[in-house]
Amino acid sequence: MSEATMEATAAADLKAKLETNTALVGVIGLGYVGLPLAASLHDGGLPVLGLDVDASKIEALERGENYLKHLGDGMTRTLAGSDRFEATADFGRLAEADVIIVCLPTPLGKHHEPDLSYVVIAGEQIGRTLRAGQLIALESTTYPGTTRGEFLEAIEREAEKRGIKLECGKDYFVAYSPEREDPGRQSHTTSTIPKLVGGLDDTATDLAMQMYAKGIDNLHRVDSAEIAEAAKLLENIFRAVNIAMVNEMKLILTRMGIDVWKVIEAASTKPFGFMPFYPGPGLGGHCIPIDPFYLTWKAREFGHVTRFIELAGEINHAMPAYVIDRLASALNSIGKPVHGSKVLVLGLAYKPDVDDTRESPSFEVIELLRERGATVDYSDPHVAKTVPVRKHDLQMHSVELTPDNIKKYDAVVVVTNHKAFDYQAIAQHANLVVDTRNAMTAFADGMRERLVKA
């Protein structure tokens, strides 16, 4: 059989399985990206095998319980009651999958260098069971060249150890399709967010487009995996740079006695050439605080220094310290030092109305307050207690936000503006409020000297 025939047969077999909804899709990583994607592909008729190293997630899914509270239990009850879905921690079962999708984190190392260890380990696991006719799609955010480089190399390295000779693009196929999840957003879901798809070759792109079409309404084909990888970075660096700009505007305008939120509201009346971005206490979530560093690191390999992007990162990462300085100044004005003061931080999640704490600036705010000798608690209706994260292990539990509790603190710092917070009670009973999200603006007139924007 010729090489062209082998390639055509491998692709045709998988294409036929996708057309008849008999292609088993294995999703590695059942977190904020993997779980809703698995549900969308399942809803589209495909059988799905979910894989995760966290046994508690597997157990929750078997019970039909959703550990991602913002997605609700309806999704997981549907999956648990289906004979087309199974969750497992046994990665040896990857051999069963016709399609394997990798939805794993790509964090930063100690020196803000890319940490591809999760992606590389996943590639190695895939290589240990790799067989002809499989499609592998990487969704993790990373720098251009990762899919064709480190990821594919890990797959091939482990496959070669087994003594098997399978060629990418002929026997199996690899593509990249970046995740575009926004936890808590009501206007879009995994199924309705447009999705980029770029393969290492045209056949891989064709197969990935066919597969994703089962669960995603709008697909956009690009010429290569590298274009899709770079597009994902551009999306998030665009946001990071513009947030840095309004954060810097905030610093300047605050010194001038001008409310930056009112300035943004005024500028937003322009129907063209302006898009509002909003200042805050720092960046949170998996993408925006991390993605710029992936590009800046890779750029150095090509002899380029990304000064503009790095400056934006410096500004955004300085925001938690700015919040503390504003709090210290406000406390000093009423004769209280930060040392010994009791401070309540509102919101541990990085954005409103979800339980997602990834890279949340609240952690940094709490740590900085502790360093200055303050007694710190937090209140978050979505996060009952803290768990160890990349740089922090706070070992704290959420405090109930009652009028009596509010009165106990010298200052309340609004870091995340959850809808569930009783802002009227905060306005009535707080001794001092430092507001980083413009959440207290409706009560500003009645608070006078007790409200500080940061």
Task: Provide the annotated active-site residues.
Answer: 287
Task: For residue 102, give the nearest of 93, 94, 110 by alpha carbon.
Answer: 94
Backbone angles phi, psi at 329, to 5 degrees: -65, -40
From CA 408, how far away is CA 429, in angstroms rounded?
Answer: 9
Which residues on neighbouring strands pair with residue 413, listed in sequence order?
Answer: 345, 434
Cβ-in-10-Å burial (0-12, 13-18, 19+) of 143 comes to: buried
Distance (Å) of CA 205 to CA 23, 104, 177, 230, 260: 17, 21, 10, 16, 45
Tokens 């993790």 belong to 140
Task: For residue 320, give the nearest of 331, 328, 311 by alpha carbon.
Answer: 328
**Tokens for 37?**
């994607």
Contacts of 389-392 spanning 24+ positions with Cβ under 8 A? 389/357, 389/358, 389/359, 389/363, 390/107, 390/108, 390/359, 391/363, 392/363, 392/364, 392/366, 392/367
From CA 232, how far away is CA 217, in angstroms rounded?
Answer: 19
Task: For residue 366, give the nearest of 391, 334, 384 by alpha carbon.
Answer: 391
Collapsed DSSP state (helix, strand, coil) of residue 136: strand
**Tokens for 44?**
């589209």
Answer for the pair 367, 392: CB distance below 8 angstroms, yes or no.
yes
Task: For residue 381, give the nearest of 409, 407, 404, 353 by alpha carbon.
Answer: 353
Angle at 18 between CA 17 and CA 21, to 5 degrees: 85
**Tokens for 395?**
């070992």
From CA 276, how far away is CA 225, in angstroms rounded?
Answer: 31
Residue 331 CB coordination number (10 Å)? 22
Contacts of 52-56 spanning 24+ positions with Cβ under 8 A? 52/28, 52/87, 52/89, 53/89, 54/30, 54/89, 55/89
Continuous segment of H or E residues that includes residue 243:
helix 225-256
